[in-house]
Amino acid sequence: MDLLFAPFTDFGFMRRALVGCIAISFGAAPIGVFLMLRRMSLTGDAMAHAILPGAAIGYLFAGLSLSAMTIGGLVAGMTVALAAGFVTRSTILREDASLAAFYLISLALGVTIVSTHGSNVDLMDVLFGTVLALNDDALILLCAIATVSLFVMAALFRPLVMECLDPSFLRTVSRMSATAHFAFLGLAVLNLVAGFHALGTLMAVGMMVLPGATARFWAKGVGLMMAVAVAVAAVASAAGLLLSFHFGLPSGPAIVLALGAAYTVSVVFGKEGSVVARHRLRSRHLEA
């Protein structure tokens, strides 16, 4: 019991890290479910890297300022998302190719800005995060983003689900299609910025994509998938922080590795569509 609870009861930085990760879990994991249902999981990865140059410019002008890097990341992420959409609609290039192009340009630009105007430590913090160094202002920001995300998803839940299942039908019967689409993109960027502050630009997307993919193996309904994704993200965050504390692992990658372990177990033993579940279904058909 001491191995599980003592790090959080004895050390304030561990408690702040856990609270921050749980806040990110409530905001990012449900967004990851919608990304997975839309078959846009790799889009989340591209958008995570897209926020880097904006955060780097904020760092260039104000140092490791929470507000400057947040605003810069939001502006850069939304700019890349809109630019990729414009290229897709105006040229022969498909959305995945345009996002990949902007993602590579953004990643290279952000790394160049940080590496030329900062130290190697600053670059590592930007890329891999500083979840164990979250202060009260960062926690307030992460909790505020999670709260806004939950309220917006609750208000637009039906249009968001319909756009995942049949976007053409939603455009036909409702004017909420564009609102739901752009609100979803905004929430994705907002939660990637939140994850960036804790886990860095390379690891932030892990808290969004892996819980949603894991939840798909345990639930059918969208609401239940979102609840499972939040629970998986929160438990894996605690497990990753404990691994980091006891074994000296980097905290952000340890959390993503814990999420990866949950995903691997779910692929094999999950209730819905896993390797074992499909084997059982196939066996029943053969017996029949």
User: For the segment 75-128, what is each residue's pLDDT rounded down to a tens digit?
Assistant: 888 888 778 777 876 787 776 677 778 878 887 888 788 778 766 666 677 777
Stretch 36-63: mean pLDDT: 80
- Cα distance between residue 156 and residue 16, in whole Å: 31
Please name the amino acid found at residue 285. H
pLDDT at 182: 82
- Model confidence pLDDT, tens digit, residues 199-248: 887 788 899 999 999 999 999 899 999 999 999 999 999 999 999 999 99
Reference 154, options 241, 223, 207, 250; nearest CA is 223
pLDDT at 69: 84
pLDDT at 169: 78
- Cα distance between residue 253 and residue 282, in whole Å: 37
163 alpha carbon, distance to own chain's centre: 20
Stretch 188-204: mean pLDDT: 87
Torsion, Cα 69 17 209 248, to 10 degrees, reads 110
Stretch 158-164: mean pLDDT: 88
Q: Which residue has better confidence, 29 or 96?
A: 29
- What whole-number percentage of the chain has pLDDT above 70? 95
CATH architecture designation of domain 2-287? Orthogonal Bundle (1.10)
And the tokens for 79?
Answer: 């700019």
pTM, full prediction: 0.89
3 state DSSP class of 204 = coil
The answer to which of 52-56, 195-199, 205-209, 272-276 has the lowest mean pLDDT is: 52-56
Residue 175 has pLDDT above 90, yes or no: no
Reference 78, options 60, 118, 51, 104; nearest CA is 51
- Cα distance between residue 47 and residue 82, in whole Å: 11
Ramachandran bin of 121, using left for φ above 0, alpha for ψ from -120 to 50, beta for the remaining angles: alpha
Answer for the pair 73, 54: CB distance below 8 angstroms, yes or no. Answer: yes
Stretch 144-152: mean pLDDT: 96
Q: Where are the domains of the chain?
A: 2-287
Q: Which residues contact 168 (CB under 8 A, 6 or more apart)?
A: none
User: For the chain, give me the number of helices (H) and strands (E)?
Assistant: 15, 0
How many CB atoms sit inside 10 A of residue 17's CB? 28
Q: Which residue has better confidence, 88 or 21?
A: 21
